[in-house]
Structure 1
Amino acid sequence: MVAFGKKLKERQIEEWQGYYINYKLMKKKVKQYAHQIQLGTVDRRHVLKDFSRMLDNQIEKIVLFLLEQQGLLAERLMKLGEWHDALQEHPDISQIAELREAYRAVGLDLLKLLRFVEMNAIGLRKILKKFDKRFGYRFTDYYVKTRANHPYSQLQQVFKHVGLGAVVGAISRNLHDLQDRQGSYLSIYDQPSLPLQDTVVDSIKAAVDRLTNSTNFLNFLAQHALIMQEELPTPTAEQVDEKRYHFMSLLLNLANTFLYMVNTYIIVPTADDYSMSLGAAATVCGIVIGAMAVAQLFSSVYFSAWSNRSYFRPLIFSSIVLLVGNTMYAMAYDLNSIWVLLIGRLFCGLGSARAVNRRYISDCVPLRIRMQASAGFVSASALGMACGPALAGILQTNFRIYNITFNQNTLPGWVMAVAWLIYLIWSWISFREPSHDMEETFSPHEPKSEPVENDTLEKGLKQPLLISSTDNEEADDGEQEGDGSEESAEESRRAATSIASAYRLLTPSVKVQLLIYFMLKYAMEVLLSESSVITTYYFKWSTSTVAIFLACLGLTVLPVNIVVGNYVSNMFEDRQILLASEIVVCIGILLSFNVIIPYSVPQYVLSGLIMFVSAEVLEGVNLSLLSRVMSSRLSRGTYNGGLLSTEAGTIARVIADGTITLAGYLGENRLLNATLLPSLVICITSIVATCFTYNTLY
């Protein structure tokens, strides 16, 4: 894999090469600054001023060329508009196809221009991150704040393609009009209006979405999966994907995701009753529910590593372990053993193959349908989350067969054991192992030197010290400049080889976003896991009522994402939605506390709904930002960005479930406030951290 600079050069339009951001020059300038600072020949203010001036010049060059090209496109559209008007006055059906092709030609040139802007936007983000990492300055924070919010911002022209929207609209409208009138050019009412079907316009809209971070429901939902991708994929990537893609195998991966989420939440409404039936306290349900998450901390790593070599064998192993775990969970009742119950749940966690499910979509699904597959992954998770409690509410019966008890406590285990047995047989028959011949191989050796990261990046402009030596930083940059080439160093091509090395690749803004992910998963786990205990204590709810409440919460996931994906995310920046969602989560937590007035059903339901919905919105936006600012080295290998986010969320669930059990020793009357207080503290901390890194989330 080549370095970003070389990729950028390869993807440039030849006749426009002089107008692209000079990434190589600025990278060398950063290296020169490093050398001068070590010698003490320049100070911090000179570096910031000089580099800001250079960036301003580069952006101005891009923007002026962009405006020139917009003018040429607008001139061509005006001439086509005159032709279009003439055809309306004197219809000539033979010229419709010719006019349409002329509009499509303008569309293709517009697409080239959008890709030009996209390449430059990526280059700007890269060089800003490189500068921050090299010197420990919060330069991106300063530069974006001073430039992006200025009324004459040229930076906004690059990141928001100001003015191009009118060109996109003109092409789309005229092509739509020509499509509607192709049967008869006399009236627009001759046939019903059809959706615009044109690959050029579809490509333009996709390019616009990438530039503005605007989105739609499918794209927004797909971002929840945090399936990391290269910013500049190679031209052969699609061909490799097509050779490895198998629809039934993808369907089996999604089915695994769905069943696992059902397995996770099917016990939530009855875990407290099951614990008490085995002689434990009701709040031990926290350990019962959390045992699965504890085991998942380890299974995520070995399944992610296993998926480097195979997808079929991990899925088969997962099914067998889950079959055994659920059987043990169900048998614990007749064995009268809380330990068998807990070991059964640990086995269920050891069978978590979500890392394999995510990795399969990333590696084996073609780019043309990867967004849909990612959205399917998230939808399967959401549907499983809703179906689990709903299924538990249905399993309200009590009978015995051959001294084996089947009741509301044991049936979730038996039902899931049967489901995993069916899945095991289905996978054995239908799953096709994709070829691993074309996969990237990684050296088993660690780099000789890892870049040393300290906390100067978080201290901002106060300490103008280099993070490490020039040699180490060159290894970190992964680009050798001695020979003038842009070839990447061996270290930069290698994926992270451990959790520690992956952690060292995280910038402060990424760490804050992982903290936000931890916070929302913690708050949601507290809400869901203690729901049965809380509602039984305060409202005397039955298992069926709890199941209905939890299922209704789960069913809000897709409608909320439709609204946010189609409307909210197109009206506001992701970072604005991020901060607003955190504040609403905080409000939901505050409303949940039981203080002074008697606790009521409306208060509990309303606060729970506010907390859950805002956390769902927050998750999508947070993972969307995370995928853009995370290092490209975390897009591949065992210790990838998806694994890091999974581990952060799983640790949050483990701690939340442990908190519920520990708080149970204070008594059920204090359980609610005792578990909400940590959620509130973590939420406020994440809001403060977001404010400090707000301008780097760009």
Structure 2
Amino acid sequence: MVNFGNKLVALEHKPWSDYYLDYARLKDILESIPDEEQVQQGTATQLDGSFEFIHVLNREVEKILLFFLQEQGEIAASLADCRRKHLGLISSSTSSADLDSLQTLYHEIALHLLHLIQYVDLNVTGIRKILKKHDKQLPNQQLAPIYLGRRGKPSILLQPLLADNDDSLNGLVLVLETSLRELKQTNHKSMVQLNRENPYANLPTDAIVLQIRAARRRLQQTSDFVQFLAASLMMSSEVSLMGEEEEEDDTTDEKAGQTKPSEFSNLLNLLSTFLYMTNYYIVAPSSGTYAEKLGGSAALSGIIIGMTPVAALVSTVLYSWWTSYSYKAALIFASSCSLIGNVLYATGLPYNSLALVMLGRLLNGFGSARSINRRYIADTFSRSQRTAASAAFVTAGALGMAAGPAVASLLHLTVSDSSLNLYWQVENSVGWFMAVAWAVYLVCLIMYFSDPHKKVHLASPKSESGEKKPLLTNGESDNNRLRDSGGMQQQDNPMWRNIPVMTTFWLYFVLKLVLECLLSSTSTLTLFYFGWRGDISGVYMAALGLLMLPANFVVAYFSKSYFDRELIMGLQVTMLLGCLIILQYSYNYSIAQYIVGSVIIFVSTNALEGPNMSLLSKTIPKSWAKGIFNIGLLATEAGTLGRAVGDVLLTACGEEGLQYLLNRSMGTMSLLSFVTLLVSYMVYDHLEPLDNDD
């Protein structure tokens, strides 16, 4: 592993070498501080060394800040002078020599700005690393939260260096980009005349601007102020873990001339996940009574619902491979499976066949196109657009989750209970409804969806070590240090030895298992204990589904003040509390107790997914994000397996009678949640993004 102090010296901009963080001195101070054993023996104290470390660190941060402000001022002054010359040339006759001279000045300013951004990036990385070493060595004297602002506002000295707090640097970048764009317009008047509708359409993007954008984006990641929603969606939607395309920057997208997907194709992609989630949960309110009408037990509702995730375990792998060649063909196949599956589900009643119902739900599982939808976002949107696209994807899924029970409730009110028509009753009307919805969607998909062009990955020059060449061509290998700025592990250890990855996998499995046990049993339990019909339980489940987005917003707020692992522990305690509250302790079981327990379980499990997936996205080695069987696919399989196991468990718990279903299922979930919480506590110190510290 490369010594970061040596890397800092190797990557620094040589004219500014006196103004970089003195990482070696800070490290020496840490190494001189006595360990806990010496302190316990009374032979030494840690106070002097700790005070010296804080004093030196403050002086180093002060030095970096003052130099940063000085250079930023020089850039602003140079840019203002260059803008005055530029505006003067526009108002007068312009020669080619004048334009070339102006372009040279702009590029010198841009290069200065690029050096400054990379200067801040490297120093903030060094500060973060040395703080981590300090906190690991002195766990009772945590400094990272104070300096980096994880439990409040960041240090006053550090605020201007953090990407999200520095509007002035953003302003310089914006003015520079505008100036270069205007200069190109002046340089290409003939091209503008040929294309009056879009005068910039044929103008190439300036390479130095692309480099500044990339450096600015990485600085934001290094500052650790990336939006929580983006971080959680990286795994929640597996966008950043779907394959090699994630290794490319936006610069590659622009150079490659990537074709943007059509708006209607994007809409159809979102509708696919909306319809699937609607289809998944629309049967929940009536699946128990459907099983009883076909001669089975209401406890079989778990198996009926669970056939879908079982099939999805297989279809996810299939679509992960298929999307390497075509999205449209894969979506058509998945939608056709859903259409046929719903027809079979609906005809199960007139043919008095539970097997047809099971087969229909199995085909619905092959209609699970969520892996296609995620890969589509990864392939067709640039990195800067992916957060918004991923947010839309998750929102579509959440709305579908609420829409399914709501539609089932409306159908229950619309369809007469006394109907003698076996083809149209409350239980199978949901199948016909979804069949029509999928048929309409399938026609639109065939007629209007267009396969986006795959990204063209440009050949990147490689160094002997296999790293990409740096942004600057003066011998500085800045990109080498940026590769590990996201805190990902680079070790090639076996997956089962990666503690944070395996722990987050297990947590994802458990939270989906608990959530599935709750949702799949709601209609059966509420009918048994409270006499709720399908319309009432459907409305209640729809209300639960609508809590998903507010829960994520709350977690996003707290993520600004707490680490992922702290949120994970707190939400696990909440999930365990919900599982204990919902249990039946006496003969009189109240509606209030059930609602409180189920709401706590639903909110905590959905909220837990955010920080859990965020942590996973920060701890995976990049090599595990490649290929068909990438870690995003494995995470999806873990969640799908949790759903399938939950549905099977419900059937087993209620086999001897519905009076045992609640306590046996949620009692098991309580025990499982407690064991998971205990395991998380034992590995707590490992649940953090790992840096390549020396």
Q: What is the TM-score with the length of structure 1 in the denominator?
A: 0.69
Distance 2:64 2:13 in 1: 15
Q: Report whether the alignment pairs 1:553 with 2:544.
A: yes
Contact 2:379–2:455, Cα closer than 8 Å, also in 1: no
* 2:593 corresponds to which of 603, 608, 626: 603
Contact 2:68–2:120, Cα closer than 8 Å, also in 1: no
Contact 1:73–1:110, Cα closer than 8 Å, also in 2: no
Amino acid at match of 1:233: D
Q: Report whether the alignment pairs 1:275 with 2:291.
A: yes
Find the residue that maps to 1:515 and give its secondary structure: helix
Contact 1:512–1:686, Cα closer than 8 Å, also in 2: no
Deviations 1:478-509 (A, max 9, x none): 99xxxxxx9x9xxx9xxxxxxxx997376111
Deviations 1:277-327 (A, max 9, x none): 100000000000000010001001011011111111100111111111111
Contact 2:68–2:116, Cα closer than 8 Å, also in 1: no
Contact 2:233–2:239, Cα closer than 8 Å, also in 1: no
Structure 1 residues 550 and 659: alpha-carbon distance in aligned structure 2, compared to 1, 3 A threshold: same
1:611 Cα deviation from its structure 2 partner: 1.0
1:572 Cα deviation from its structure 2 partner: 1.7
Structure 1 residues 553 and 520: alpha-carbon distance in aligned structure 2, compared to 1, 3 A threshold: same
Distance 1:258 1:653 in 2: 18
Distance 1:440 1:22 in 2: 38
1:245 Cα deviation from its structure 2 partner: 3.4
Greater shift after overlay, 391-400 or 602-611?
A: 391-400
The match for 2:437 is: 419
The match for 1:165 is: 159
Distance 2:55 2:335 in 1: 57
Amino acid at match of 2:516: E
* 1:577 corresponds to which of 567, 585, 610: 567
Contact 1:400–1:406, Cα closer than 8 Å, also in 2: no
The count of aligned residue pairs is 551
Q: Report whether the alignment pairs 1:310 with 2:326.
A: yes
The match for 2:505 is: 514
Deviations 1:654-693 (A, max 9, x none): 1110011011123211111111122122212221222233
Distance 1:306 1:539 in 2: 47
The match for 2:514 is: 523
Q: Report whether the alignment pairs 1:590 with 2:580.
A: yes
The match for 1:228 is: 240
Q: Report whether the alignment pairs 1:215 with 2:227.
A: yes
* 2:528 corresponds to which of 504, 525, 537: 537
1:368 Cα deviation from its structure 2 partner: 2.3
1:224 Cα deviation from its structure 2 partner: 2.7
Contact 1:290–1:653, Cα closer than 8 Å, also in 2: yes
The match for 2:450 is: 432
Amino acid at match of 1:513: T
Contact 2:118–2:215, Cα closer than 8 Å, also in 1: no
Structure 1 residues 406 and 154: alpha-carbon distance in aligned structure 2, compared to 1, 3 A threshold: closer
The match for 1:624 is: 614
Distance 1:379 1:233 in 2: 26
* 1:69 corresponds to which of 56, 64, 67: 64
Q: Report whether the alignment pairs 1:568 with 2:558.
A: yes
Structure 1 residues 13 and 578: alpha-carbon distance in aligned structure 2, compared to 1, 3 A threshold: same
Greater shift after overlay, 308-317 or 555-564?
A: 555-564
Amino acid at match of 2:500: S
1:374 Cα deviation from its structure 2 partner: 0.7
Find the residue that maps to 1:245 and give its secondary structure: coil
Amino acid at match of 2:452: P
1:237 Cα deviation from its structure 2 partner: 3.6
Amino acid at match of 1:642: G
Distance 1:502 1:237 in 2: 32
Q: What is the TM-score with the length of structure 2 in the denominator?
A: 0.69
Q: Which runs of 5+ in 2 are unaligned?
A: 24-53, 77-86, 88-107, 176-209, 460-464, 468-476, 484-491, 690-694
The match for 2:471 is: none
* 1:406 corresponds to which of 400, 424, 437: 424
Greater shift after overlay, 602-611 or 156-165?
A: 156-165
Contact 2:249–2:383, Cα closer than 8 Å, also in 1: no
Structure 1 residues 254 and 121: alpha-carbon distance in aligned structure 2, compared to 1, 3 A threshold: farther
Deviations 1:610-640 (A, max 9, x none): 1111111110111111111112123232112
Amino acid at match of 1:585: M
Q: Report whether the alignment pairs 1:257 with 2:290.
A: no
The match for 2:31 is: none
Contact 1:584–1:610, Cα closer than 8 Å, also in 2: yes
1:392 Cα deviation from its structure 2 partner: 0.3
Find the residue that maps to 1:583 and give its secondary structure: helix
Distance 1:246 1:568 in 2: 36
Greater shift after overlay, 293-302 or 111-120?
A: 111-120
Amino acid at match of 1:514: F
The match for 1:464 is: none
Distance 2:149 2:431 in 1: 55
Find the residue that maps to 1:428 and give its secondary structure: helix
* 2:393 corresponds to which of 357, 373, 377: 377
Output the aligned Cα RMSD: 4.7
The match for 1:391 is: 407
Q: Report whether the alignment pairs 1:664 with 2:682.
A: no
1:79 Cα deviation from its structure 2 partner: 11
Amino acid at match of 2:603: V
Find the residue that maps to 2:423 and give its secondary structure: strand
The match for 2:206 is: none
Find the residue that maps to 2:514 and give its secondary structure: helix
Contact 1:321–1:348, Cα closer than 8 Å, also in 2: yes
* 2:643 corresponds to which of 653, 661, 669: 653
Amino acid at match of 1:599: Y
Structure 1 residues 209 and 502: alpha-carbon distance in aligned structure 2, compared to 1, 3 A threshold: closer
The match for 1:352 is: 368
Structure 1 residues 430 and 399: alpha-carbon distance in aligned structure 2, compared to 1, 3 A threshold: farther
1:571 Cα deviation from its structure 2 partner: 1.9
1:267-346 superposed matches below 5 A = 267-346=283-362
Contact 1:330–1:412, Cα closer than 8 Å, also in 2: yes
The match for 1:86 is: none
Percent identical residues: 32
Distance 2:607 2:518 in 1: 16
Contact 2:288–2:299, Cα closer than 8 Å, also in 1: yes
Distance 1:505 1:22 in 2: 38
The match for 1:362 is: 378
Distance 1:633 1:622 in 2: 20
Find the residue that maps to 2:239 and give its secondary structure: coil
Distance 2:59 2:15 in 1: 13
Deviations 1:635-654 (A, max 9, x none): 23211222111100111111
Find the residue that maps to 1:383 and give its secondary structure: helix
Contact 1:267–1:412, Cα closer than 8 Å, also in 2: yes
Greater shift after overlay, 257-266 or 637-646?
A: 637-646
The match for 1:695 is: 685
1:440-455 superposed matches below 5 A = none
Structure 1 residues 439 and 249: alpha-carbon distance in aligned structure 2, compared to 1, 3 A threshold: farther
The match for 2:198 is: none
Find the residue that maps to 1:666 and give its secondary structure: coil
The match for 2:487 is: none
Structure 1 residues 687 and 145: alpha-carbon distance in aligned structure 2, compared to 1, 3 A threshold: farther
Greater shift after overlay, 407-416 or 652-661?
A: 407-416
Deviations 1:385-437 (A, max 9, x none): 00000000000204999966212211111111111111111111121112347
Deviations 1:171-221 (A, max 9, x none): 469989xx9xxxxxxxxxxxxxxxxxxx99999799546623453556655
Distance 1:234 1:60 in 2: 40
Deviations 1:116-154 (A, max 9, x none): 5656777999x99xxxxxxxxxxx999753267635669
Distance 1:376 1:562 in 2: 14
Distance 1:239 1:660 in 2: 53
